[in-house]
Amino acid sequence: MSELTVLFVGDLCGKPGRQAASYIIRELRRERDIDYVIANVENAAGGFGVTPEMSAKIFSYGVDLQTSGNHIWDRVQILDYLKETPKLLRPGNYPHGAPGSGVYIDEVNGAKIAVMNLMGRTYMAATDCPFRTADRELRKIHTETNVVILDFHAEATSEKQAMAFHLDGKISALVGTHTHVPTADESISRNGTAYITDVGMTGPHDSIIGMDKGPSLGRFMTGMPKRFATATDDVRLNGVLLQIDAETGKALTIERIRKDFDLGEYQSGTNDEEV
């Protein structure tokens, strides 16, 4: 195989995001002849975490590997599942002793692809250094493959850009997640590393980053805690499509993907999203 076509799907948010993924990912795989699909699932359970049942169901939508972020620990039942499911990653720079792994190397039609998951530290919970963690993991990964995709789950644009420069030419792509707002800065460096600051989310966009507007506004205006619920309207799938040289690991193209989703228009199809 000379080239790999990889779809990265932005943060699935609540049931609307899962429903959109359940229909659209298979459709995209057929239309764009996609070899491998990665999806960030840390907000799949009502915006906060993911359950084992949901993760298993999401794999059935045509997702090959799942990444996450700071909300991965929000559902306690995920702890044992992480130990048993190497294709669900958590950020690899959590301290030693955290269950699960931040790297997985898979095989796709005779080629190997490594996916790495890291979390930023600026305005985020304290973790080990993502830069040094990346260096350490890449020393091992590069003994097996040059094709490496990093989900960098971080708040600050500057930290994501810094990571892209730090790993320029060492990885195939850095895809930013966490803010749920897609950016329009997709690019490929001279050294063959694709980059986008944030791929955006898959879920309801008539919202404040996926949540109902009322409680979110109330929290900003009063400073009082509010109970958040996933919004339901203006559902979209956001992602990026990557073409990568399977031998060198260099990115050839990066394309932003946006698919609007109206459940009513898909009712005649098969919906596997029941959780």
| Segment 134-188, tens digit of pLDDT | 999 999 999 999 999 999 999 999 999 999 999 999 999 999 999 999 999 999 9
Mean pLDDT value of segment 183-200: 98
* Residue 274 predicted with pLDDT over 70: no
Burial-class residue 98 by CB neighbours within 10 Å (0-12, 13-18, 19+).
middle
Judge whether 153 counts as a catalytic residue: no
pLDDT tens for 241-256 read: 999 999 999 999 999 9
Q: How many CA atoms lie within 13 A of 141 on its CB side?
A: 25
User: In angstroms, rounded to a whole number, what is the distance separating the alpha carbons of residues 177 and 179?
Assistant: 6
User: In angstroms, rounded to a whole number, what is the distance separating the alpha carbons of residues 56 and 258?
Assistant: 24
Q: List Cβ<8 Å contacts ≥24 apart for 26-33.
A: 26/61, 26/62, 28/257, 28/259, 29/62, 32/5, 32/7, 32/241, 33/5
* Chain length of the chain: 275
pLDDT at residue 275, rounded to an integer: 44
pTM, to two decimals? 0.95
Q: How many CB atoms lie within 10 A of CB 128?
A: 17
User: In angstroms, rounded to a whole number, what is the distance separating the alpha carbons of residues 80 and 83?
Assistant: 5
Tell me if the domain spanning 3-264 has CATH number 3.60.21.10: yes
Active-site option among 71, 153, 178, 205: 71
2 vs 1, higher pLDDT: 2
Q: Which of 31, 27, 8 is nearest to 116 (CA)?
A: 8
- The torsion angles phi and psi of 156, rounded to 5 degrees, stand at -85, 130
Per-domain boundaries in the chain: 3-264
Q: How confident is the model at residue 270 (pLDDT cuts 50, 70, 90)?
A: low
